[in-house]
Amino acid sequence: MSEPIRVLVTGAAGQIAYSLLYSIGNGSVFGKDQPIILVLLDITPMMDVLDGVLMELQDCALPLLKDVIATDKEEVAFKDLDVAILVGSMPRREGMERKDLLKANVKIFKSQGAALDKYAKKSVKVIVVGNPANTNCLTASKSAPSIPKENFSCLTRLDHNRAKAQIALKLGVTANDVKNVIIWGNHSSTQYPDVNHAKVKLQGKEVGVYEALKDDSWLKGEFVTTVQQRGAAVIKARKLSSAMSAAKAICDHVRDIWFGTPEGEFVSMGVISDGNSYGVPDDLLYSFPVVIKNKTWKFVEGLPINDFSREKMDLTAKELTEEKETAFEFLSSA
């Protein structure tokens, strides 16, 4: 058995965490021989609920869980972390402007970024899930100057998985037969799900998705809007936001950081845009296609970008630039 790693989940009394914690504890994320000290952080009013989650984790009798710590204190939660999964954020309420949402979250992620800077290992991998995820991630990174900005990423894997699933459903194959879809940009309705470079396995051979589907108007229309608006569709149907699928996507994202991406495959994650070759401005937290090796991601380079894609990629970059500017106004005053 290796040394235990310390893994933090914030918003640990919430519904995404409820679907996530068992998968972390049973070895499906960090491997079946990796012991874990699991740290659960939530706000003080949620501590009773969190105690219930703690009891359930104990009752799962998971051999890899060396310890579970439930707390409402940042100095306890962020100490010596190897991995921080920041799920907790201020949700959008009825009648709330996006600007108000940004302001409330800047405060949270500035504080958590500072706590990472002060207490966590410098090698910590930070994954931001709480929305607006891209800008929250950038805020946390800016507030933790001693941790490399490449260590911060935000979740767009749920969008990536949604895009894969839509293609698979349309072609009557399993999601596993579809690879190299891309989510560009913001985890919002401006995101651009791109299948120009995606491949699908049909009758044992790999074909481009455009070639396989022969339905360009669906791929440029309904497919894009379905993926962009899927989160809202789930809320409308369930009266709750995506939890099971979000937790699964977090597991995929973190597992790929830990173990790397399969040969010949790339995945989408929100990362710092510095030095990209796709004309996205530097210093944005933007979703790109990446490959991962030795816990380090690299941009997938050299993919040709057509005019349709260019327009969509620029639109979501513009939204992220505006979000960043608003957040940074609050950041200097927070």
156-321 sits in which CATH class? alpha beta
Ligand-binding annotation for 161, yes or no, is: no
Residue where the block lists tokens 């991995």? 83
Residue 283, number of CB atoms within 10 A of its CB = 13
27 known member of a binding site: no
187 classed as catalytic: yes
> Could you read off the pLDDT of 215-234 as tens digits, one per residue?
999 999 999 999 999 999 99
Q: Does residue 238 have a known ligand-binding role? A: no
3-state SS class at 124? coil
Angle at 251 between CA 175 and CA 47, to 5 degrees: 140
3-state secondary structure of 316: helix
Residue 303 has pLDDT above 90, yes or no: yes
Handedness of CA 110, 114, 116, 119 (dihedral sign): negative
Is 93 annotated in a binding site? The answer is: no
What residue spans of 153-243 are helical by DSSP H? 157-171, 209-213, 216-220, 222-228, 230-238
160, 187, 197, 253: the catalytic one is 187
d(CA 122, CA 117): 8
Beta strands in 36-113 (DSSP E): 36-41, 65-71, 83-86
Residue 94 in this model has a pLDDT that exceeds 80: no
**Residues 136 and 102: beta-carbon distance below 8 Å:** no
Region of residue 180 (left: phi > 0; alpha: psi -120 to 50; beta: else): left
**Confidence class of residue 334 from pLDDT cuts 50, 70 and 90?**
low
**127 DSSP β-pair partners:** 85, 153
Overall average pLDDT of the 255-262 stretch: 98
Asked if residue 14 belongs to a known ligand binding site, the reply is: no
* Superfamily the domain 5-154 falls into: NAD(P)-binding Rossmann-like Domain (3.40.50.720)
In this prediction the pTM is: 0.97
255 annotated as belonging to a binding site for a ligand:
no
Q: Indicate the domain borders of the chain.
A: 5-154, 156-321
In single-letter form, the type of residue at position 217 comes to S
Query: What average pLDDT does this structure show over 99-121?
Result: 95
For the chain, give the mean pLDDT: 96
Write the pLDDT tens digit of every residue in 24-55: 999 999 999 999 999 999 999 999 999 999 99
Task: Give the tokens for residue 181.
Answer: 């879809």
Cβ atoms of residues 41 and 53 within 8 Å: no
Q: Say if residue 26 carries a ligand binding annotation.
A: no
